[in-house]
Structure 1
Amino acid sequence: MASSRIPVIAAAVKERLQVAAIDFGTTYSGYALSFRSDFLDDPLKIMTNQWKTGAGRPASLKTSSCILFRPDQSFDSFGFEAEDKYAELAMDENHFDWYYFKRFKMLLYENMDLNRGTMLKDDKRKEMPAMTVFTEGIRYLKCQLIQLCEERSLGF
């Protein structure tokens, strides 16, 4: 029975018009996408985002793997935007109730018993569920990818 599904799946993959990937890295994160027609002409033709950086840094193909949550644990910002906002909050000493995670992927290596209830500690040792931190990071990158497609009128 499983072998009869393989041709159907292979045919569906051949019909894909676009492929997208998210690179959720330890230090930097980003995404890329490619269209089948572009791939057939030039496999190296890939679209990525040009991240706007603060503090006089040049544009980058990836953004920092940092995430900032408000005191009520709702998502605020990701990447260079999170770094800049947190720095502003800290300069005014208004950062104490906020949650700031930098290189949070590495925090998982400290815990040998990972489960859905795993907690991560931010830069001030305040805890939030790892599931929330990673979910919001991936959601942000996905939304940015969709926005790139909309801005470039790609019709997807």
Structure 2
Amino acid sequence: MECIRYRGNDPEVLRRLAESGQAHLADLPVSGIKPVLRNHVTFDAADPIDKLLLDKDLAIDFHNYLRSRTNEYVTYKFTKTVTDGDVTSFSYSWYEDNFHKIEFHFLGLPECRWLIVSNTSFTVYDWLVDDGRFSSQRWYTKEQWDTSKEWQDIPW
């Protein structure tokens, strides 16, 4: 969709375009803002019954979500799912054998019940929103997660 350009001057929109690596889509030059990868997201359950879900339950649900999106243009491949303590992970690919790892962590904290770490933030975001069972999304870069815990509510 690179034929669509942003003609406005809203600093928040310009920042988000630049941080997502799409600054070239703005008519105004965007300087001083580098692309940012928010690949850590914490979230909670919207319904108390879902607070019982474990990291492996989320991994299965996400796996099934991707399988449901398979169509004539996209076929997902998966590696074996591995659970180690409160972390469940697998890798998936939608193009050749270019696999992307995703980790599901159980944190058990208020409003931060789970953590997902993945470089496929847009797909994770879509799943969290489409699923409807989750709330309080907080997106972090790795550096923010490791240090300041500064976050925003969307990955871009």
TM category (shorter chain) comes to: under 0.3
TM-score, L = length of structure 1: 0.25
Give the number of the structure with larger relative contact order, counting CA–CA contacts within 8 Å between residues 6 or more apart.
2
Q: Which has the larger radius of gyration?
A: 1
TM-score, L = length of structure 2: 0.25
